[in-house]
């Protein structure tokens, strides 16, 4: 004797039979079977896909040439032309409109990096020239502006509220196939240590992501943006169901700073932290499972002013739970200079609340503290332990006032001064010595992201 099928099972069976049976010419799939609606993402996608764009870029790439062609004597003897040989490179990616009124598009930094031309193709086929407002290599986020005419934007979710198991949909242009939709679930949250970006807290998903999806949206079933697709783990070169997206909360923080300042102005809190391991928790005599342990506090820093001391367990920042050292670094690193910070701490088993603010790492060198007229308007400083992590020793460039001599010379926030007048400089003292010796600056060599740039006096 068999058990009669439930109404749901009967409807599901009828749906499958209907899908497998030959359809009449021109017939549409049923919207309901036995009175039960057939699930479909189509209504949500009709709202979201007009906000998804295809991005095509053009870059000028220097052509490698024989070393002899770089020798001045050889070039003069054989009358070799002095022009630099270049070839045009092209790449494809995706993006998503997040502000229809302002024409703002979110994408990846690596999609538009070094691009000399950026073209955006809309859902309706329009092709528009895009302006790069700014980008941030540390988070791999870039912001473009396109003419705000008849645009559709996607709504933003709170990525701190998504959970493992939530259904998500990736939309983009893999291999140039625009408006491709794939679906999956959130496989994991807060993935770090992948070495993809400087600030990592990825959403992992099994929604298929391939080359060309970069910069496109990852949305929930309500059509809200939860992440920006950015990378895949592909040991064999193809998709294996492990993709990564930048959480929309991180992308939103970068967007706001780029729109306001043209760049990301990262502050400094001045605290060294490490993850709370079970062994460390036992040694500290705490039952707390997840926190960032304060290992050191820089003298005179914002953290010291707030009252943090080594051994403190930081459990939350501004009301949001801190899961570990990387999480704390991400949250502080995305806060603009001057942001108030409320730190929930456990000290010797007792919960306390400390207050401070994110400091300007170069504040003491502001304005009148500059040491050469050509650098006026630039905020300079020695790299601290925190800011020089993984970087060469150099002089850091903070905020650069637009229109100032430093701005006109080509300096930008985040640059690292490596050489002045051909002499290596590792700190402000060395910089001052070179300027004093040469009585001015004729040539600067600096690092900007992964590029080394030389600026010369005009």
Q: pLDDT tens digit string along 117-136?
A: 899 999 988 999 999 988 88
| pLDDT, average across residues 38-64 | 83
The secondary structure of 126-151 as a DSSP string is -EEE-EEEEEETTTTEEEEE---SS-
On whether both 245 and 290 belong to a single domain, the answer is: no
Provide the number of structural domains found in the chain. Answer: 4
Average pLDDT, the chain: 78
What is the 8-class DSSP label of residue 360? P
**401 is written with which tokens?**
């006032």
In this structure, the chain runs to a length of: 458
In a domain, 175, yes or no: yes
Q: Check residue 225 and give its pLDDT.
A: 95
**Residues 372, 425 share a domain:** yes
Residues 131 and 216 in one domain: no
Instruction: Give the CATH number for residue 171.
Output: 2.40.10.10
Q: How confident is the model at residue 89 (pLDDT cuts 50, 70, 90)?
A: low
Is the model's pLDDT at 41 over the cut of 70?
yes
In a domain, 151, yes or no: no
Residue 154 falls inside a structural domain: no
Q: Which of 96-105, 234-243, 353-362, 370-379 has the lowest mean pLDDT?
A: 370-379
- Is 90 exceeded by the pLDDT of residue 387? no
Question: What is the spatial distance between Cα 170 and Cα 210, in angstroms, rounded to a whole number?
Answer: 10
Q: How confident is the model at residue 143 (pLDDT cuts 50, 70, 90)?
A: very high
Helix (H) or strand (E) holding 302: helix 302-306
With contact defined as beta carbons under 8 Å apart, do 149 and 240 qualify?
no
pLDDT score for 164:
94
Identify the residue with better confidence: 302 or 38.
Answer: 302
Q: Where are the alpha helices (DSSP H) in 25-145?
A: 42-48, 72-77, 109-112
Q: Are residues 420 and 438 in the same domain?
A: yes
* CATH for 93: 2.40.10.120
Q: What's residue 144's pLDDT?
A: 94
Please compute the mean of the pLDDT values over residues 271-296 and round it to a whole number.
86
Average pLDDT over residues 391-408: 72
Looking at the DSSP bridge assignments, the partners of residue 382 are 395
Same-domain status, 386 and 401: yes
Please answer whether residues 111 and 215 qualify as being in contact, where contact means their C-beta atoms are separated by less than 8 angstroms.
Answer: yes
Last residue within a domain, chosen from 145, 171, 196:
145
Q: Identify the bridge partners of residue 144 per DSSP, sorted by sequence position.
A: 105, 132
Residue at 35 is within a domain: no
Write down the pLDDT at residue 86. Answer: 53
Look up tokens 């790069």; give the residue.
132
Which of 233, 261, 289 terminates a domain? The answer is 261
Residues 353 and 368 in one domain: no
Per the model's pLDDT, the better-predicted residue between 44 and 29 turns out to be 44
Q: Are residues 101 and 122 in the same domain?
A: yes
167 located within any domain: yes
Residue 90 clears pLDDT 70, i.e. is over it: no
Helix (H, G, I), strand (E, B) or coil at 429: helix
pLDDT in the model for residue 158: 92
pLDDT band at 153 (very low <50, low <70, confident <90, very high): very high
Report how far residue 140's alpha carbon sits from residue 145's, in angstroms, rounded to the nearest whole number.
Answer: 17
Q: Is residue 2 part of a domain?
A: no
**317 and 399, same structural domain?**
no
User: 253 and 282 share a domain?
Assistant: no
Tokens representing residue 229 in the block: 């697709």
Same-domain check for residues 313 and 250? no
The string of DSSP letters for 225-291 reads EEEEEEEE--TTSS--S-EEEEEHHHHHHHHHHHHHHSS--B-B--EEEEE--HHHHHHHT----S-
Phi, then psi, of 357 in degrees rounded to 5: -150, 155
Residues 135 and 104 in one domain: yes
Over 60: is that where the pLDDT of 389 sits? no
What's the CATH number where 443 sits?
A: 2.30.42.10
Lowest mean pLDDT among 18-27, 61-70, 148-157, 286-295: 18-27
Q: Is a pLDDT exceeding 70 seen at residue 285? A: yes
Domain that holds residue 202: 159-261
Q: Are 368 and 340 in a shared domain?
A: no
Mean pLDDT in residue range 50-76 = 68
In the predicted model, what is the mean pLDDT of residues 315-326?
A: 88
**Position 296 confidence tier, pLDDT thresholds 50, 70, 90:** confident
**Domain C-terminal end among 206, 240, 261:** 261
Residues carrying an active site annotation: 110, 140, 214
Min mean pLDDT across 19-23, 37-41, 45-49, 412-416 is at 19-23
What's the confidence (pLDDT) of residue 10?
A: 39
Domain assignment present for residue 44? The answer is no
Percent of the chain with pLDDT over 90: 26
Rounded Cα–Cα distance for residues 335 and 331 (Å): 7
Query: Is pLDDT at 353 greater than 90 in this prediction?
Result: yes
Residue 224: pLDDT over 60: yes
- Classify residue 433: in a domain, yes or no: yes
What pLDDT was estimated at residue 2? 40
């Amino acid at each position: 004797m068999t058990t009669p099928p439930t109404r749901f099972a009967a409807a599901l069976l009828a749906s499958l039979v209907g899908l497998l049976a030959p359809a009449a010419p021109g017939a549409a799939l049923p919207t309901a079977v036995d009175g039960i609606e057939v699930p479909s993402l189509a209504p949500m996608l009709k709202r979201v896909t007009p906000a998804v764009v295809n991005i095509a870029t053009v870059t000028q790439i220097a052509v490698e040439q024989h070393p002899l062609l770089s020798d001045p004597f050889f070039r003069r003897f054989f009358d070799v032309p002095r022009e630099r040989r270049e070839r045009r490179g092209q790449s494809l990616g995706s993006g998503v409109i997040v502000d229809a009124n302002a024409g703002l598009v979110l994408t990846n930094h690596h999609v538009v990096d070094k691009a000399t031309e950026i073209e955006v193709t809309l859902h309706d086929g329009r092709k528009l020239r895009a302006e790069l407002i700014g980008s941030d290599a540390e988070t791999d986020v870039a912001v473009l502006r396109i003419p705000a005419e008849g645009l559709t934007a996607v709504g933003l979710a709170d990525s701190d509220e998504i959970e493992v198991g939530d259904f998500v949909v990736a939309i983009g242009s893999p291999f140039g196939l625009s408006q491709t939709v794939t679906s999956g679930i959130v496989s994991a949250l807060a993935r770090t240590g992948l070495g993809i970006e400087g600030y990592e807290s990825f959403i992992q998903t099994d929604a298929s992501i391939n080359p060309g999806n970069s910069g496109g949206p990852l949305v929930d079933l309500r059509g809200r943006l939860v992440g920006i697709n950015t990378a895949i783990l592909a040991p064999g070169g193809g998709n294996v169901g492990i993709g990564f997206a930048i959480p929309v909360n991180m992308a939103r923080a970068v967007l706001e700073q780029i729109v306001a300042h043209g760049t990301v102005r990262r502050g400094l809190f001045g605290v060294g932290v490490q993850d709370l391991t079970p062994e460390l928790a036992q040694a500290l005599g705490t039952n707390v499972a997840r926190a960032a342990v304060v290992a050191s506090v820089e003298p005179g820093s914002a953290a010291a002013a707030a009252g943090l001391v080594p051994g403190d367990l930081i459990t939350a920042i501004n009301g949001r739970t801190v899961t570990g050292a990387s999480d704390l670094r991400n949250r502080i690193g995305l806060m603009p200079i001057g942001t108030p910070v409320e730190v929930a701490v456990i000290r010797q088993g007792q919960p306390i609340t400390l207050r401070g603010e994110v400091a300007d790492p170069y504040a003491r060198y502001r304005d009148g503290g500059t040491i050469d007229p050509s650098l006026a308007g630039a905020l300079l400083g020695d790299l601290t332990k925190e800011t020089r992590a993984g970087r060469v020793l150099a002089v850091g460039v903070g905020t650069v006032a637009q229109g100032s001599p430093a701005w006109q010379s080509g300096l930008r926030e985040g640059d690292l001064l490596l050489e002045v007048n051909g002499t290596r400089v590792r700190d402000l003292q060395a910089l001052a010595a070179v300027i004093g010796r040469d009585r001015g600056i004729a040539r600067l060599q600096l690092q900007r992201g992964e590029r080394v740039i030389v600026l010369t006096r005009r």
